């Protein structure tokens, strides 16, 4: 529903205008806040060559929680978290900051250190995370490094949100194979999983999110979205911007490079529920003190939005 215009305000007068605005606001169902965020190594690891493994520095963890508290998500999907203890620590810190997300899912792939997690205010009604997927490049069998986090959350009795969290192969070169080819194979496995969901649930409302480590024109993203000719099973990129109209989500300080590597993709039947006008890339001048990524924020309505 569109807000009253400035013209309406002049015609009706301030008192009537604000009463009308309040009624219109009350008539709109409250939006849920979904956030996707790469935490940058919230885990214990060797942070300098030859030095003992240590947790994510305290000042970085505190900044992550401060930023997430300002977003106040109802559902939070994260990349680069470590063990179940690391997830519990994040959950407890958020709770102390006023963000209570009691329901969780922790997923992994072949990477023994970096995992995916989801925290939710609403109960998780189904879990189908994929942790043992693999693919072939030549004679090599390689694992899907972080797997696919797959949960369903009932937003209303008639609206199930199917969430797929991923963190595709990084852009760092590896001795095993070409990193772009590895990423495309992981993307193909994600697409096959999406197709299997649509086969079982033709009307699925799917949100695929995370760190895809790819630019918008790369084959791996086209693989995931599918053909636009098959509208019922293709996914669409939700283009988010920050308060300055910029779309970048990652900063690589070594080369002073700003890139869009994090995305949210939605299925056709989910799109009417996404409040795109109020969704955004979270902007904080101190974002780099928490992570090299910026959070994505989607506003989701429990009812279709009239646009």
CATH number at residue 92: 3.60.10.10
pTM assigned to the model: 0.90
Tell me if 5 is assigned to some domain.
Answer: no
Domain membership flag for residue 41: yes
Asked if residue 49 belongs to a domain, the reply is yes
| Per-position pLDDT tens, the chain of length 307 | 333 333 333 444 545 444 544 444 445 679 999 999 999 999 999 887 878 889 999 999 999 999 999 999 999 999 999 999 999 999 999 999 999 999 999 999 999 899 999 999 999 999 999 999 999 999 999 999 999 999 999 999 999 999 999 999 998 877 777 999 999 999 999 999 999 999 999 999 999 999 999 999 999 999 999 988 888 999 999 999 999 999 999 999 999 999 999 999 999 999 999 999 999 999 999 999 999 999 999 999 999 998 6
Do the domain assignments include residue 15? no
- Domain count for the chain, please give it: 1
> In this structure, is residue 21 part of a structural domain?
no
Is residue 19, in this structure, part of any structural domain at all?
A: no
Among residues 239, 247, 246, the alpha carbon closest in space to that of 266 is found at 239
* Sheet of 75-81, strand order: 103-107, 115-120, 75-81, 32-42, 296-300, 280-281
- Report if residue 3 sits inside a domain: no
Residue 5 burial (CB count, 10 A): 10
Distance CA 233, CA 161 (A): 15
Q: Which domain holds residue 103?
A: 29-300
Identify whether 211 is part of a domain: yes
């Amino acid at each position: 529903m569109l807000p009253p215009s400035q013209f309406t305000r002049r015609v009706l007068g301030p008192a009537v205008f604000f009463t009308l605005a309040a009624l219109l606001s009350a008539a709109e169902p409250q939006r849920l806040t979904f956030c996707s965020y790469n935490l940058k190594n919230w885990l214990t690891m060797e942070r300098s060559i030859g030095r003992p493994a240590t947790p994510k520095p305290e000042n970085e963890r505190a900044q992550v929680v401060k930023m997430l508290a300002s977003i106040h998500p109802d559902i939070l999907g994260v990349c680069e978290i470590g063990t179940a203890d690391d997830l519990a620590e994040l959950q407890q810190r958020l709770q102390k900051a006023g963000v209570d997300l009691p329901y969780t899912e922790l997923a992994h792939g072949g990477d023994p250190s970096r995992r995916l997690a989801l925290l939710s205010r609403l109960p998780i009604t189904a879990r189908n995370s994929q942790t043992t997927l693999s693919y072939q490049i030549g004679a090599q069998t390689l694992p899907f490094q972080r797997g696919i986090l797959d949960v369903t959350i009932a937003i209303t009795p008639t609206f199930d949100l199917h969430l797929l969290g991923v963190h595709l192969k990084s852009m760092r070169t590896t001795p095993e194979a070409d990193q772009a080819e590895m990423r495309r194979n992981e993307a193909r496995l994600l697409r096959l999983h999406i197709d299997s969901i649509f086969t079982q649930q033709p009307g699925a409302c799917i949100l695929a999110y995370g760190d895809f480590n790819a630019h918008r024109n790369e084959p791996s993203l086209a693989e995931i979205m599918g053909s636009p000719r098959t509208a019922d099973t293709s996914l669409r990129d939700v283009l988010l911007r920050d308060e300055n109209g910029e779309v970048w989500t990652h900063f690589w300080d070594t080369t002073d490079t700003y890139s869009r590597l994090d995305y949210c993709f939605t299925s056709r039947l989910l799109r009417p529920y996404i409040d795109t006008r109020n969704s955004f890339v979270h902007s904080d001048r101190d974002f780099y003190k928490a992570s090299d990524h910026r959070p994505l924020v989607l506003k989701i309505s429990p009812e279709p939005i009239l646009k």
